[in-house]
Structure 1
Amino acid sequence: MESDLERNTKSGIDHRRYGRLPPLRVALLFGATVVACLLFYHSSDPIKTLLNFSVSTSTSSSTATPTVNVVSPLPPPPPVKEESKLERVLKHAAMDDKKTVIITTLNGAWAAPNAVFDVFLESFRIGNQTEKLVDHLVVVALDQKAYLRCLALHPHCYDLTSANKTDLSNDAYFMTPNYLDMMWRRIEFLHNVLELGYNFVFTDVDIVWFRNPFPRFYPDAEFQIACDYYGGNPLDMDNWPNGGFNYVKSSNSTVEFYKFWYESRITYPGLHDQDVFNQIKRDPKLTEIGLTFKFLDTNFFGGFCQPSRDFNSVCTMHANCCLGLDSKVNDLKVLLEDWKKYMILPSEARAWSIPQKCRYINPVYHPPVTPDEHVHEGEGDKN
């Protein structure tokens, strides 16, 4: 009978020379082979993975340690820019088109209970199909008092106080440094809104809303502005603009225009935004940037300077040409009472019951006064 040695020799295996593989080494080699196969199977580029995979054993130890070199992962994508607080407020207030909002600014004096802000909000509640529009209103607070008051009454409030260098919580009398600072701060803010891609209706808070104004906006104008005095032609440069109400579509032209408007305060020092607009409305720069603009008819967007005479058409009424906060509040409340009576008996509405306390009001159209005459009309908030 053949011995084991003779059989192994015939089969080509001589265990006396090679010895048996230790069980641990066999297990480790098997495990490394399984890992390699799995990586090869699941890799999107098997050949590249195979070339980058190696198993090495240590010669200084009786046990082998497998080392797996896997292709380095791709670097992580850059972090997404955090949405700014302003963007969040605008996004939550936007209309169905995702890019149109209504904006007003508010300081502490006008935010006081039973003052202008309360009258403003009430007009949306009692207006003809205006109640839902308030859902798209962004209130820009110029001081902490206004911000806290807004939070108590309205869901979409933006705190601009961190950027304020002056105290804007008190009533800003017409053409005082605080008044001018407040007017130019809103132009700068509205420029930022346009840069974010949002269209807006800007409305002073001393404007009451009786109807949805959107059907009355011109479809072919990027910038539309209300008037203290309107001569009947939306393209007539002799119309006297009022910056307290405008509709603006975001575009390269309007972004450039608001930048130019804001920078023009340096060219025309001591004037407020609407008087500077009156100076630049014929500037070749507007044609150069391709701005299309029109003036809004006071029959739809009236005010105390030139009231709308048609209760069946009026959309908004502005307490312009009126000096003093108390006078504004009184006569705005009178407007609301006139509107309530009209809604009950439309056929009985003949004319507004103002002015009562407001001064410097002339309901009959007259040619615009010069900027210098505006400045010297007296103390108080004219616009």
Structure 2
Amino acid sequence: MLSLTTDHSLNDGQLEKVWNRINSSGEQTPPYSIQPEISETTDFESALRDTVVDDVIVMAVISINMVEMAMNFYFSSIVKFNITNLIYISVDHESCDYVMARRADVNFRCHVFREDDEHVKLTMFDNSGVFARRTNIKPLAAYAILSHGYEVLITDLDIVYLKNPISYIKRLCKESDCDMAIQMDVHEYNSGFLYARPTTSTMAVYNRTLQWSKMISAIDQECFNNALKDLKNSTAPRIVKLKSDEFPSGKIAFPGQSCPSKSFLNKVYIVHGNWLRFHEDKIHRFKDCLLWDYDGDDGYYSNPERRYVTFVNHVMSKDLTPTLLNLFAIGQILNRTAILPKVIKKGRKDIVNSWRLLKGKVFQHGAFDKATGNNYRFGKFLRHRLVPDEVNSSLSAVYSFDPDCCQGDHDTVILTPRDQERGPTVKDIQDWFGREHYAVLRLKPLIKRYENLDYENILSRDLYNILMYKRLDV
């Protein structure tokens, strides 16, 4: 039995001993006895005993750089379906402190598995294998839970439950007498969403997965699939492949740059953002597709005092740089949060989601979020259920600075700058809208640069450089 402790995290040397014992265990018949040399070994067992419901534990691994996504999973999936058997396996104390302090009415547990500040700060793939080694904490934690005789539903944090999958998967597995039920990721098994029973074959899979993690620097999914290929005959697990039309991978759920349709979401049990490599991209995509339910400490959705500026129509333009320069400049001048526009690609009828605007290396690793101070929202933002009615009902008239844009449109208010040739000034914008009390200021798209607006000085240097030196073509 593998026992861990809340108060004494496994350090590198202790974890090395655990892995060495696993690696040297060969093809023995599990369960194996693996005992880390730490002083207290009862807390983990107690945590599991307090968590389990109907013999099942829902388990996800978190770290300090993933706490926001952990909270989104909690609110979008756990709270929504009143799932009370979740345990987070944390790799640092800070992440446990963060999530536990933000719990709602639905309880969960958080258990510190190991602590290594240098390692857990990594959020990307790393040639040194450090990130890969951290992700292999997941199969080690799964092995520990199984060794206590519990069934486990392993779930990545970039997943949202649209229906409660637990009883359905449990029934599927029971009907076929399976060892494991696993989401398919195109042509291989996805280790980020699977249900496992504490059988001899399942324990052998995780034993072999951990052996692979010692032999190669790879993420747990590669080690997991290698292990499944290795196990044959009597040790091969009986596997139920979860149907892709019910448990789709990210490639199916998010085709191209599109969000899943309402009809699609009504059919599936989960959506998985696993085909997005970068952590920030996953958050952006979930927010843009209304799959993000974590309101945060600053009331991302619910703050009734925040004011916004948005374009009411889809933008029909190839180069979006002037459009975004104007949107963020007006937001900065008026202290309003910019809501990104929708875009119609030239020559096509389909609408590109706001998330597409942030795609590209210049926006990865949070560069865009840092440059804007997170003071922007995605195109569907106002449709989210957490946005207060008092915000959604407080809409301004629709304004434009371009007299040629709206011929025959009696619903648009045309504002004429003092200098019609060079466009509006900062003072013009302040005079027009500075006393505007509506929560949402609505404008027709502004698709050209105005000479009177010194964008370089209005915007932060980083944001101006991003918008100017990286063409945002769609």
Aligned equivalent of 2:374: none
Q: 1:204 to 1:358 in 2, by over 3 A?
A: farther
Question: What amino acid maps onto 2:123 in structure 1?
Answer: A
**Is the partner of 2:152 in helix, strand or coil?**
strand
- Conservation of the 8 A alpha-carbon contact between 2:248 and 2:272: yes
Q: 1:250 to 1:356 in 2, by over 3 A?
A: farther
Q: 1:105 to 1:207 in 2, by over 3 A?
A: same
Aligned equivalent of 1:109: 65
Aligned equivalent of 2:201: 253
Query: Equivalent residues in 2 for 1:120-269 (5 A)?
Result: 120-124=73-77, 130-133=80-83, 135-154=84-103, 155-161=107-113, 163-165=114-116, 167-176=118-127, 177-217=129-169, 218-219=172-173, 220=176, 221-229=178-186, 239-267=187-215, 269=216
**1:303 Cα shift?**
3.4
- Conservation of the 8 A alpha-carbon contact between 1:240 and 1:278: yes
CA distance in 2: counterparts of 1:227 and 1:139, whole angstroms: 23
Query: Equivalent residues in 2 for 1:68-87 (5 A)?
Result: 84-87=42-45
- Conservation of the 8 A alpha-carbon contact between 2:206 and 2:224: no
**1:124 Cα shift?**
2.0
2:46 is equivalent to residue 94 of structure 1: no
Query: Equivalent residues in 2 for 1:368-379 (5 A)?
Result: none
Q: 1:272 to 1:254 in 2, by over 3 A?
A: same
Q: 1:169 to 1:321 in 2, by over 3 A?
A: same
- Conservation of the 8 A alpha-carbon contact between 1:138 and 1:158: yes
Q: 1:160 to 1:83 in 2, by over 3 A?
A: closer
CA distance in 2: counterparts of 1:246 and 1:321, whole angstroms: 17
Question: What amino acid maps onto 1:86 in structure 2?
Answer: F
**1:270 Cα shift?**
2.1
Q: 1:90 to 1:208 in 2, by over 3 A?
A: same
**Is the partner of 1:193 in helix, strand or coil?**
helix
Question: What amino acid maps onto 1:293 in structure 2?
Answer: I
1:119 paired residue among 72, 75, 78: 72
**Is the partner of 1:131 in helix, strand or coil?**
coil
- Conservation of the 8 A alpha-carbon contact between 2:202 and 2:237: yes
- Conservation of the 8 A alpha-carbon contact between 1:224 and 1:247: yes
- Conservation of the 8 A alpha-carbon contact between 2:133 and 2:217: no
**Is the partner of 2:251 in helix, strand or coil?**
coil
**Is the partner of 1:282 in helix, strand or coil?**
helix
Question: What amino acid maps onto 1:100 in structure 2?
Answer: V
Identity %, equivalent residues: 17
1:294 paired residue among 222, 225, 240: 240
**1:282 Cα shift?**
2.9
**1:160 Cα shift?**
2.7
CA distance in 1: counterparts of 2:116 and 2:66, whole angstroms: 19
CA distance in 2: counterparts of 1:338 and 1:189, whole angstroms: 27
1:134-160: CA deviations, max 9, x gaps? x11101111121111122134433333
- Conservation of the 8 A alpha-carbon contact between 2:210 and 2:223: no
Query: Equivalent residues in 2 for 1:297-336 (5 A)?
Result: 297-307=243-253, 310-336=264-290
CA distance in 1: counterparts of 2:276 and 2:209, whole angstroms: 25
Q: 1:223 to 1:148 in 2, by over 3 A?
A: same
**1:121 Cα shift?**
1.7
- Conservation of the 8 A alpha-carbon contact between 2:208 and 2:227: no
Q: What is the alpha-carbon root mean square deviation over aligned residues?
A: 3.1
1:292-318: CA deviations, max 9, x gaps? 113222222223222177222211111
1:23-47: CA deviations, max 9, x gaps? xxxxxxxxxxxxxxxxxxxxxxxxx
- Conservation of the 8 A alpha-carbon contact between 1:105 and 1:186: yes
1:226-284: CA deviations, max 9, x gaps? 1222xxxxxxxxx32221111001122211221112112234x122221123333332x
**Is the partner of 2:244 in helix, strand or coil?**
coil
CA distance in 2: counterparts of 1:103 and 1:352, whole angstroms: 35
CA distance in 2: counterparts of 1:358 and 1:92, whole angstroms: 42
CA distance in 2: counterparts of 1:357 and 1:316, whole angstroms: 26
**Is the partner of 1:132 in helix, strand or coil?**
coil
**Is the partner of 2:124 in helix, strand or coil?**
coil
- Conservation of the 8 A alpha-carbon contact between 1:137 and 1:156: yes
Q: Which runs of 5+ in 2 are unaligned?
A: 1-39, 254-259, 294-350, 366-474
**What TM-score do the two structures reach when normalised by structure 1?**
0.58
Question: What amino acid maps onto 1:227 in structure 2?
Answer: M
- Conservation of the 8 A alpha-carbon contact between 2:64 and 2:92: yes
CA distance in 2: counterparts of 1:244 and 1:295, whole angstroms: 14
1:173-198: CA deviations, max 9, x gaps? 12453321122111111111100001
Larger Rg: 1
Aligned equivalent of 1:274: 221
Q: 1:298 to 1:147 in 2, by over 3 A?
A: same
Name which of structure 1's ranges 218-227 and 194-203 shifts more when overlaid on structure 2: 218-227
- Conservation of the 8 A alpha-carbon contact between 1:226 and 1:297: yes
- Conservation of the 8 A alpha-carbon contact between 2:205 and 2:228: no
Q: 1:180 to 1:141 in 2, by over 3 A?
A: same
- Conservation of the 8 A alpha-carbon contact between 1:225 and 1:245: yes
Question: What amino acid maps onto 1:120 in structure 2?
Answer: F
Query: Equivalent residues in 2 for 1:330-345 (5 A)?
Result: 330-336=284-290
